[in-house]
Amino acid sequence: MSNNNALNRLNLLKDHISRPTGSIDLEKERSNASFNVEHMNWLFCGSKESAKALSDAYQMIQRDPDLYIPGGHSFDMTQPQQRELVQRQALRFQRVRKTLKDPLLYKALELAMCIYSETFSMKTYVHNTLFRQSIEFFGTKEQQDEWMDDVLNWRIIGSYAMTELGHSSFIRGLETTATYDRVRDEFIINTPTLTATKWWIGMAGQTATHTVAICQTIIDSKSYGIDWFIVPLRDRKTGQLLPGVTAGDIGAKYGRNGLDSGWIQFSNVRIPRKNMLMKWSKVTEDGNYISPQNPAIAYTTLIGERLTVLAGTQNALGRALTVACRYGCVRRQGVNNLQIMDYQTHYVKLVPCVASIYVINIVDRNIKSRWEESTKLIQTNQSEFLKIVTDIHATSSGLKGTITWWGSEMFERCRRSLGGHAYSSYNAIGPAIGDWGVNTTGGGDNSVLLQQTARYLMNSYKEMIQGKQLSGSVEYFNNIKQFSKINKSDLLNEKQLYDMKYNLDMYTWLVKQKEDSSITWNNNQISLIRLSELHIFRYCLSEYIQGISKYRNSIPEFQNLCPILTKLGQLWSIHLIYESLNEFLEEGYFGKEQAIIVRNAYFGMCKELRKEIIPLVDAWGYPDFILQAPLGKFDGDVYKGISLDLSPVVTVTRVLSNS
C-alpha cells in the first residue's frame, strides 16, 4: 500500500468516526414511535410465544452452518451449488425438527426457513402440502394408511403433476390420460402429445420419487373427467427414472433456481388401480366409474396453495419494505440535504404499502383459520364441507389475484425508491422481484382466477336478487339493496374519511355499481376483473375492521396497539377510495370537491404515518441476515455494509492488443 493510500484510508476512517450517519437518523425515527414495537411484533406473529419462537428460530438458522446460506445470498452460486444448498437445508431441517420438542418452535423454524429461502419454502411446500394434502383430501382411509407414514418421514419425495406444457388454468383441457385396463386391474398413464408433457413440476427435475398426477380417466375409450393418481417416478434407492418415465429439468428460471422444477412424459406407465385417489370419485374393479358429488373437489388442494400467497406477500414485501423504508430515512439528497423519505413522492408511495401489510396480516390469520376448520370437515361432514368450499374457493382465487398484483406494485415502488442501488443484486430487491413472478403468473394465472371469482359474485348477486339468503364472503350482498337509493356521496370534510366503516360503505356502494353494470354489460372481462378486485379489497377492509375490534377485547398489550392499528386501517381505507376516484367520479357519486377532500386526506394521512414508518417496519422483526441487503441494515450504517471487493485483471490487455 502506498503512502497515499494509507493516508486516504485513515481519512476515511476518521471521517466515519466523526460524522453523523444513518444510525443517528434511525435512532430519531425510532423515538417517534407512539406504540410498543415489541408488542406489535407479538401481534404480527400471532402471540408473544410465537414471536419468541420465531426469534429463536432465526437465531438457530444463523448459527447452523447447514441452514445458513454461505456469504448471505445465493445469486453468486451456480445452479448445481444452489441445488446442493437447498437439498442440504432440507435434509438438515428434517434432522433438526426431530430434536425439537416444542411444537411452536418447530413451526417457527419452518416458517423462518421459508422466509429465509423462497426455494426452501417451495421445496418443502410441494412435498409437505401439495403432495401430502392430495393424499389426505382425495385418498381413502386405506390409501392414507398406506402412504402417509412414508410421506411424513420423507422416505419418499412427492411432487404435484398438474400443469402441462400446453395447458394450465383450464384444467379440464389437460391431455395426460389414465386408461383403465380391466384385465390387469391397472391404470396406464400416458402422455399422448408434446403439449401434454407435465411442466413446471417442482422436484420432478432431479429429486422426486413419486408424483400425484392429474389425468383424464378413460374406461373403455370413454373419458370420465379428471382424477388424481399416485405415480412412482424414480427408484427410491438409486434415484434412477423408472421404465416409461422420462423426466428432466426445465432449466434456468427467474427465481428459485435451487428448486429442480421439471417436466415429465409418461410412456404407458402402469400403476395399480388402487393408486387412483378414490375418496370422491371411484373406479371399481369391473370398470365402473363413480362420479364425485362435486367435481370441483379435485381442485381443493389449490385453495390452500392460493392462500399461501398471503403469508408470502407479508414476508417478501415485508422484507423489501423494511429495506426501502430504512434506506429512505438514511439517504439524504438534494439542496436541503433532506432524508429522501421526507419527499412527498417518496412517502406517499411507501406508507400505504406498509399499512397494507398490516391489513394482509389480519386477513391471512382469519381466513387461514377458517380454511383449517373447514378441511377438518372433509373427514367428518363432507356435505357441509362442499357447501363452504365454493365460497372459500372463490375468495382464495380472488385474494391470490388481487394481493399478488398489489404485491407487484409494491415491489416496483420499493425498487424505485432505492434509486440506482436497486440494480445491485446485493440489495435484494431485483432477485425478489424476479422471484415474485411465480406468484402472479404461476399457481393459476391471475386474470383467469379473478374471472372465476367474478362468476361466483355474479351468480351470488343474481341469487340474492331472486331472494336467496347468502352467507360467507358475499353475506353483505343481502343488505346491498339499501345502496340503490344513493346517487351522490355526502362527503363534506376530511374527518368523515377517518371512519373506516364510512369508507367501507362507500366501497360497498361501488361494488354494487359494478355488479349492476356488469349485468347490463355482459361478458366484459375487464369490468369483471375489476369487480373481483373491488369485492376482495372490500373483504380485506371488512376483515381488518373486525380484526381490530377483537384486539380491543384482547390482552392489554394488544389493546394498547389499537390506536395505531386504527390509523393504519384509516389510511388503507382512504387508499382504497383514492385508488377508485375515477370510478366514483364517473358515476357522479363524487364531484371535484370530494375528490380534493379524498386526496388531501390521503396525502395528510400518509404524512402523519410517515413519522412512525421505521417503528412500523421494525415491528415485523426481520433480522439483517434475513433482509440480505446492506441498505436495510438495522443500525442504519448502510454504506459500510457494502463490500468493496477488488477484482482481478482479466481482459484489459486483450483489448489493448487490438490497437
How is residue 49 annotated by DSSP? Answer: H
Q: In whole angstroms, what is the distance from residue 7 CA to residue 17 CA?
A: 16
From the CB of 649, what's the least distance to a second copy, in Å?
4
Q: In whole angstroms, what is the distance from residue 117 CA to residue 429 CA?
A: 14
Using CB under 8 A, which of the segments 40-48, 79-87, 128-136, 386-394 binds a second copy? Answer: 79-87
The sign of the dihedral angle between the CA atoms of 534, 540, 543, 544 is negative
Using CB under 8 A, which of the segments 34-42, 267-275, 304-312, 541-549 binds a second copy? Answer: 267-275
- Our finding on whether 476 is near a second copy (CB under 8 A) is no
CB 504 within 8 A of CB 545: yes
Beta carbons within 8 Å of 267's beta carbon, 6+ residues apart: 190, 191, 244, 245, 246
- C-beta closer to a second copy: residue 472 or 604: 604
CB 307 within 8 A of CB 399: yes
Binding to a second copy (CB under 8 A) within 354-413 occurs at: 408, 412
- Our finding on whether 183 is near a second copy (CB under 8 A) is no
- Our finding on whether 591 is near a second copy (CB under 8 A) is yes
Binding to a second copy (CB under 8 A) within 225-254 occurs at: 234, 236-240, 243-244, 246-254
Sketch the per residue contact string, 89 through 118, with a second copy: x for CB under 8 A, - otherwise. -xx--xx-----------------------
The only residue of 47, 59, 333, 554 in contact with a second copy, by rule CB under 8 A = 333
CB 452 within 8 A of CB 270: no
- Our finding on whether 81 is near a second copy (CB under 8 A) is no
Q: In whole angstroms, what is the distance from residue 22 CA to residue 20 CA?
A: 7
From the CB of 653, what's the least distance to a second copy, in Å?
5
- Our finding on whether 195 is near a second copy (CB under 8 A) is yes
From the CB of 239, what's the least distance to a second copy, in Å?
4
From the CB of 315, what's the least distance to a second copy, in Å?
19
Binding to a second copy (CB under 8 A) within 621-650 occurs at: 639-640, 642-650
Would you give the distance in Å from CA 311 to the centre of its chain? 5
The only residue of 479, 482, 487, 524 in contact with a second copy, by rule CB under 8 A = 524
- C-beta closer to a second copy: residue 375 or 489: 489
- Our finding on whether 15 is near a second copy (CB under 8 A) is yes
Quick one: which of 355, 593, 315, 320 has its CA closest to 430? 320
Q: In whole angstroms, what is the distance from residue 346 CA to residue 330 CA?
A: 13
Using CB under 8 A, which of the segments 27-35, 59-67, 153-161, 462-470 binds a second copy? Answer: 153-161
From the CB of 253, what's the least distance to a second copy, in Å?
5
The only residue of 34, 59, 223, 344 in contact with a second copy, by rule CB under 8 A = 344
What backbone phi and psi angles, to 5 degrees, belong to 237?
-90, -45
Report H helices in 611-658. 613-618, 624-627, 652-656
From the CB of 281, what's the least distance to a second copy, in Å?
21
- Our finding on whether 422 is near a second copy (CB under 8 A) is yes
CB 134 within 8 A of CB 273: no
- Residue 103 has which C-alpha cell? 411444537
CB 341 within 8 A of CB 158: no
- Tell how strand 262-266 and strand 289-290 pair up: unpaired
